[in-house]
Amino acid sequence: MKHTLHLAILFTCSVLFSQPLPIRTSPSFDQANDIRTHLMRVASDITENSLTGITSLQEWQGQRLRRTEQLVEMLGLVDVPMAGARPALHPVIVDTIRQKGFHILKLYYESLPQLYVPADLYIPDGITEPRPAILYVCGHARTQKVHYQPHARRFAQLGFVCLIIETIQWGEVRGEHWGCYANGWFHWYSRGYNPGGVEAWNGIRGLDLLCERPEVDADKLGVTGISGGGAQTWFIAALDPRIKAAAPVCGASTCEAHIRTRTIDGHCDCMVPTNIYGWDMPDVAALIAPRPLLIGQADRDGLNTIESVREITFRTKNIYNLYDAADQIDLVETPGGHSYHKTSRQKIFAFFLRHLMNVSVDYADIEDVDESTGAQLSEEALQVYRDGPPADDRTRTIQDSFIQLPQAPDIGNATELASHRRGVIAQLRARTFRAFPAPVPLQPHYEFRTLDNAPFGRSVYSFVSEKDWRLKVDVRWKNPQETKSPLMLVLRNPDEKRWESEEFISGLSDDWNIAYFETRGIGESGWSPELQWHVRRASAWTGRTVASMRVYDVLRCIEFLKTLPGVDADRVGIAARDEMTVIALYAALLDGGCAGLLLKNPPATQDSASQPDGRGPAIEMLACLLITDVNQIPGLLFPMPVAFVGSVPVEYDWSKELYKRLGRADAMRFLKEVADF
C-alpha cells in the first residue's frame, strides 16, 4: 500500500510540474560534503598509487626521464639551465678561518646572475689528492650554518670537504620561503613557483662549486641535511646524478600522512613540490635509485610520522629491487622528536665513509659531533657578508623573477586564435586541471519543489559532482517546461548575503530560466573560514586548488542541467561575480558550449596576493599563469557573447581588442546593469 501511494505522489507531482522527475531511490545525503574527508581520501589515493604498476627495470627506465622532467616542473625549475652550460659562479672568498686539522673558507657565489648564496667551505688540511665532498643543506634553524656547524666540522675531521649552504629566509639569505605559509601569497601556486626549487638550484650550483675546487673529487659527492635540509637532500639527489650517496633526515612524509595528521600545517612551502602530477615522496626517492640512500627518521617527529617514512622506504625499495640493489637503501629509526640522534649521526658518517671513501667502520666507533659551547664558532665569526649581501642581490624578490611568465600572444586571425585556444585547453587539462577525477554517475535527486518563487515553479535538485560531493542546484522556471528555453546558471559567492545573487541577476530577461548553484565550499557544503588556510595549502599537495575543484563542480552542474526537460542544452549561460568570475571563465573555456557569460567585478589577474590567514578570494590554480591568465580567457572564448557589468580592469583590454580585431566587437559588451544584457 505504501509503495502504491509513493508512486501516486510521484505521478501527481510529475503532472503538476509537467516534467519527469529523477526517481528518488534513497536519501540524497549519501555524500560527505566535507573538505577534510575529501582531501584525506584523495591524499590516500595518491599514496596508495605511488610507484604502483612498475614491474620491470626496463619499464622504470622508460619512465625515468619523463618523471625527472615532471619534478623539475613541480619545483619551478623550468627557466634555469638544468642541463648544458650554466652562468659563471663568480665565487668570492671573504675570509679564511684556521682550525685544528682543517680550515674554513667563508665565501659566496652566484647561482644565477645577482642571486647570491653565502656558504662556508670546510677543507681538511694537508690534502694531497682530491677528496670526496659533502653538500650539507641546512634545516630551518634561524642561524643556519652556525647552528649546523658541528656536522660540517665533523665531516672535515673525517677527511671530507664539506660545503654548508643556507636556506632562503634564514641565516644570511634574506628572502621568503613562507609565501603561502605566512604571507597569503597563494598566487605562487598559479605562477608554478616553489621556494624549494630555488633552494634546490642553489644546492645544485653548490655542487658545481665543489666540482671546480681542486681539493674535491667530483665523482664522489654526497648530500645530507635535516628537516628543510632533509627535504632538499631528497630533491637535490633526485635531480642531480652527480650525487653518489644521500642521507635525508626528518625531511619527508607521505601525502596521506601530511593531510590526515595535518602535519602539512607545520611545514614551510619549500618542503613539498607543487603537486601538478599527483606524486608522493616515494616518486621523488625513486629517482635516486640505485644510488646509496640512508633515510634517518625520529619516531616521535611532530612533522613526519615514522609510519609514513616506513611507507616511503618500502615503496622506494621496490624500485631498488628492480636494480638488484635493495642493500643500497636503508632506514635508521631513532627515538625522539624532530631532531637528530647520536645513532643517526654516527650511521650517517659511517654511510658516507663506506660509499664515498670505501672505508668500512662500525658506526658506534665513530666519534659523534661536538656540540659543546666551547667548540662552536660565533655567528659573527662565520658570517660571510660583512655589510649585508651585495647591493644587487635579488634573493628578497626572487619569487618575482625565478619563473618567467609568458606574455599574452599576438593573435592576428581566427585560425591563429583557434590553434592557441586548443593549446591552452590541452595544457590546462594536462597540468592545472590534471587532478580532475574520472566522471562518476550524476545520481540526480529531486530535493524540493514549489510553485512559489517563479512563474512556473522552483525545483531544487542534487547531483554527485565527484566522490564525496553531492551538491544542490536551485532552478527557477520562468518559462513552461514543455518548451525548451535558455538557462542562466548563477554561481553563488562564498559568504554572500541572503538574496544577494537574486538581486544581482534580477534584471535578466524573463526569456531565461535561472539556476542558482553553490559549488563546494559555498553554502551548505561550506567549511569554517578558519580552515581555509589549511585547505588551500593541503589542496595544492593533492594536485588541486579550491578554484580548480569549483571549476569541476560547475562543469558537472552544466552537464546535469542539460539533462532537464525545459532546458535548451545549446543555450546555457553562466553569470558570476567577484572571485566566482574566475570559475565561470575557466568552466566556459573547458565546456566549449556555453551560450554566453555575464560577469561582474572580475579580478584583474590571478597573479595577486591573498590574505595571510588564507581568507579572501581563492582564485589560484596550479601553474595556470605559465599557460594563460584569467584576463585572457574572455578573448579565448571568441566569438562567445561575453558581457561585463560595471567597470572592468585594464588587464582585460587584450581580450577586448581581440574581439575587435576579429570583427566581433559587438559580442563583448560592457553594461551598466544586468537589464541591458
Same fold, 48-400 and 424-676: yes
- Hey, which CATH number is domain 48-400, 3.40.50.1820, 3.90.320.10, 1.10.287.110, 3.40.50.300? 3.40.50.1820
Cell of 555: 562543469
In the block, cell 611568465 appears at 405
CATH number of the structural domain 424-676: 3.40.50.1820
Give CA–CA dist 638/136, Å, rounded.
53
Longest Cα–Cα distance of the chain, Å, equals 99
Of 32, 356, 126, the C-alpha closest to 224 is 356
Give CA–CA dist 252/541, Å, rounded.
13
Give CA–CA dist 212/130, Å, rounded.
11
- Residue 676: pLDDT band (50, 70, 90) is confident
Give CA–CA dist 303/140, Å, rounded.
13
Q: How many CA atoms lie within 13 A of 452 on its CB side?
A: 1
Cell of 440: 562518476
Give CA–CA dist 352/137, Å, rounded.
15
- Residue 677: pLDDT band (50, 70, 90) is confident
- Residue 13: pLDDT band (50, 70, 90) is very low
| Cα distances (Å, whole numbers) of residue 441 to 435, 445, 463, 489, 570 | 18, 12, 9, 21, 22
What residues form DSSP beta bridges with 105? Answer: 96, 121
Average pLDDT over residues 262-282: 96
Of 515, 501, 508, 497, the C-alpha closest to 673 is 508
Give CA–CA dist 593/640, Å, rounded.
9
In the block, cell 592557441 appears at 420
Task: Please report, for the chain, the start and end positions of each structural domain, with discontinuous segments joined by +.
Answer: 48-400, 424-676
Average pLDDT over residues 141-151: 96
Q: Is the pLDDT of residue 23 over 80?
A: no
Q: 124 in helix, strand or coil?
A: strand
> Do β-strands 243-249 and 216-226 pair in parallel, antiparallel, or remain unpaired?
parallel
Instruction: Answer whether 654's CB lies under 8 Å from 632's CB.
Output: yes
Cell of 256: 596521506
- Residue 20: pLDDT band (50, 70, 90) is very low
DSSP annotation of 431 reads: I
pLDDT in tens, 336-379: 999 999 999 999 999 999 999 999 999 999 999 999 999 999 99
pLDDT in tens, 394-409: 999 999 999 999 999 9
For 508, the enclosing helix (H) or strand (E) is none
pLDDT in tens, 622-643: 999 999 999 999 999 999 999 9
Q: Is the pLDDT of residue 284 over 60?
A: yes
Burial class (CB in 10 A: 0-12, 13-18, 19+), 78: middle
